[in-house]
Amino acid sequence: MAKKILTIESSCDETSAAIIDDQLNVLGTVVASQEAIHERFGGVVPEVASRAHLEAILPVLEKTFQRAGCTLGDLDAVAVANSPGLAGSLLIGLMAAKTIAFLTGKPLIAVNHLQAHIYACRVAYKVDPFPCVGLIVSGGHTSLFRCQDALDFEEIGGTIDDAAGEAFDKAAAMLGLPYPGGPSISRCAAAGDPKAIAFPRPLVNEPDRLQFSFSGLKTAVRYKICGPGGTDTASVRLTDRQKADIAASFQAAVSDCLVAKSMAALRLTSMKTLCVGGGVAANQTFRRQLEEAAAKGKIRLFIAPPQLCTDNAVMGAIAWERYRAGLFEPLDLNIYPTKPNKI
């Protein structure tokens, strides 16, 4: 009979659990999003997030077991994302996982949230993509990794300031669009012209530098909305058409940067496979541009399906790799909120 693992994800503002078998079939999963809670603040408030995780974790677990038709006794292991993420949020998932591991006597497995974002491609396509270049584009991270295998990642590039998702969220806020900014910008952009405004493509002219920078682009959006110096807070006076053009042009600029540096990473590492995950990878314009560039460069491309781009516990299926390698954790496992260069 297939073995079953429970995975828990609570690193930022989604409380999620999944029960997945050793063939990577998802037997049941639930994602409880806190978007509505954080919307009025325009971003995730860490203390509010951890309290919301605390309220959601038991109902999410109960529903996941219900959907999977399983009980605690059916589990072979318990996995939890314990790095990187918000400290208070990570702790809720970790405590739940430890409790279940203690109760059932089954092994506890640590999941690295960034590795898991890339592993979402492995789960979705049921194809082994390693070795590959991994691009993680989310609200907190924009990083390029050389992924030798599922558990051996070395960071080869990343943002020197804002993450791509953070830039989407901030640009949306400037345009008066709701949080989270990625989906709002892309909805607004649908009616706009991506060539209307020539926003900068920072660092794209330096093809050997695997770095991103989005803070200048964000400032350019502010100047476009509020005039030179960005002091005239006149965004309310923008017409819907102007907003759509700004959103579409901003989205095109971010997408161009992400595609250019992904292709540069493939060239510099001589790798031929690219795996992409994280919330921003749900963006349709970015997906289309990446597909075109990959086809042109004869690159094997795996982009996580949209529902596995934003945070979820299904990508925690990477725990099966650790299970097979015998990488189990003691019950005093800690959280590691910041990201190491080699994971």
C-alpha 290/C-alpha 294 separation (Å) is 6
* Cα(107)–Cα(279) distance, integer angstroms: 30
The CA distance from 227 to 231, in Å, is 7
Give the end-to-end CA distance of the chain in Å, rounded to a whole number.
32
Closest separation in Å from C-beta 18 to Zn ion = 15
What are the residues whose beta carbons fall under 8 Å from the beta carbon of 126, sequence distance 6 or more?
Answer: 24
Q: Which of 34, 186, 213, 262 binds ligand KG4 (CB under 6 A)?
A: 186
Residue 89 binding ligand KG4, by CB under 6 A = no
* CB-count exposure of residue 271 (10 Å: 0-12, 13-18, 19+): middle
Interface pick for ligand KG4 out of 107, 194, 279, 316 (rule CB under 6 A): 279
Q: How far is the CB of 13 from ligand KG4 (least distance, A)?
A: 7
Distance of closest approach, residue 222 Cβ to Zn ion, in angstroms: 26
**Contact of residue 139 among Zn ion, ligand KG4, none (CB under 5-8 Å per partner type):** ligand KG4
Q: How far is CA 305 from CA 60, 281, 293, in A?
A: 22, 8, 18
| Bridging pattern class, strands 152-159 and 108-112 | unpaired
Report if residue 194 touches ligand KG4, rule: CB under 6 A: no
Q: Which stretch binds ligand KG4 (CB under 6 A): 62-70, 89-97, 102-110, 163-171?
A: 163-171
Query: Is residue 311 near Zn ion by the rule CB under 5 A?
Result: yes
DSSP secondary structure letter of residue 342: B
| 139 near ligand KG4, judged by CB under 6 A | yes
Question: In 37-137, where do the E strands start and end?
Answer: 77-83, 108-112, 132-137
Binds 186: which of ligand KG4, Zn ion, none (CB < 5-8 Å by kind): ligand KG4
Given candidates 174, 280, 293, 294, which one binds ligand KG4 under the rule CB under 6 A?
280
The Cα–Cα gap between 74 and 60 comes to 18
Letters for 291-330 (x = contact with ligand KG4 by CB under 6 A, - = none) are: -------------------xx-------------------
* Integer Rg of the chain from CA: 20
Q: Which of these segments, 60-68, 147-155, 274-282, 289-297, binds ligand KG4 (CB under 6 A)?
A: 274-282
Using CB distances below 5 to 8 A depending on partner kind, what does residue 180 bind out of ligand KG4, Zn ion, none?
A: ligand KG4
Q: Which of 21, 26, 29, 25 is nearest to 4 (CA)?
A: 21
Q: What residue number has its CB nearest to ligand KG4? A: 182
With respect to ligand KG4, which residue has the nearer C-beta, 12 or 135?
12
Residue 178 φ then ψ, to 5°: -70, 155
Binds ligand KG4 (CB under 6 A): choice among 88, 93, 129, 181: 181
For residue 138, state whether it binds Zn ion (rule: CB under 5 A): yes
Sign of the CA dihedral with 205 first, then 209, 213, and 216 last: negative
For helices 215-226 and 164-174, what crossing angle results, to 10°? 10
168 binds, among Zn ion, ligand KG4, none (CB under 5 to 8 A by kind): ligand KG4
> How many residues of this chain interact with Zn ion, rule: CB under 5 A?
2
Minimum distance from CB of 246 to Zn ion (Å)? 26
- List residues near ligand KG4 by CB under 6 A: 12, 138-140, 165, 168-169, 180-183, 186, 278-280, 282-283, 310-311
